[in-house]
């Protein structure tokens, strides 16, 4: 097994942990954090292919990851602001009980 296989398996594990958490937990913050874990797994793949892939030219993989981190930061900020807004409105952030958004 080459190091690239190992890196891809590790990122698969991280992605599936994030997916399971996002689907299973009922707390909205943990769902958001599960999505962040999936984004991190994708970034791991970028770096793995940049380092061990066949065409290792330039810094393309790193630049991809930098942009992905920036987008993830924006997404986390907006998501957590939404969670705080919903909590102010309904005094609850469990997914089952915030089933209606209007009013």
Of residues 8-67, which lie at the interface with another protein (CB under 8 A)?
A: 8-10, 12-21, 23-27, 29-30, 33-34, 36-37, 40, 43-44, 47-48, 50-54, 56-63, 65-67
Cα 61 to Cα 53: distance, rounded to the nearest angstrom: 10
CB atoms under 10 Å from CB of 22, counted, come to 17
Asked if 101 touches another protein (CB under 8 A), the answer is no
Question: Which ranges of 53-94 does DSSP label H, i.e. alpha helix?
Answer: 60-90
Interface pick for another protein out of 35, 75, 100, 101 (rule CB under 8 A): 75
- The distance of closest approach from Cβ of residue 100 to another protein in the complex, given in angstroms and rounded to an integer, is 16
Q: Which of 60, 34, 30, 61 is nearest to 47 (CA)?
A: 61
Asked if 2 touches another protein (CB under 8 A), the answer is yes
- The distance of closest approach from Cβ of residue 48 to another protein in the complex, given in angstroms and rounded to an integer, is 7
3-state helix, strand, coil in the chain (%, to 5): 75, 0, 20
Nearer to another protein (CB atom), residue 93 or residue 100: 93
| Residue whose tokens read 């930098």 | 66
Nearer to another protein (CB atom), residue 3 or residue 100: 3
């Amino acid at each position: 097994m080459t190091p690239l296989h190992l890196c891809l398996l590790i990122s698969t594990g991280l992605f599936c942990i994030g997916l399971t958490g996002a689907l299973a937990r009922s707390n909205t913050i943990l769902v958001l954090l599960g999505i962040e874990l999936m984004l991190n797994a994708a970034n791991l793949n970028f770096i793995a292919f940049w380092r061990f892939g066949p065409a290792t030219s330039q810094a393309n993989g790193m630049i991809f990851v930098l942009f992905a981190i920036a987008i993830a930061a924006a997404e986390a900020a907006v998501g957590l602001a939404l969670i705080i807004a919903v909590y102010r409105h309904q005094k609850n952030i469990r997914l089952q009980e915030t089933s209606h958004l209007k009013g």
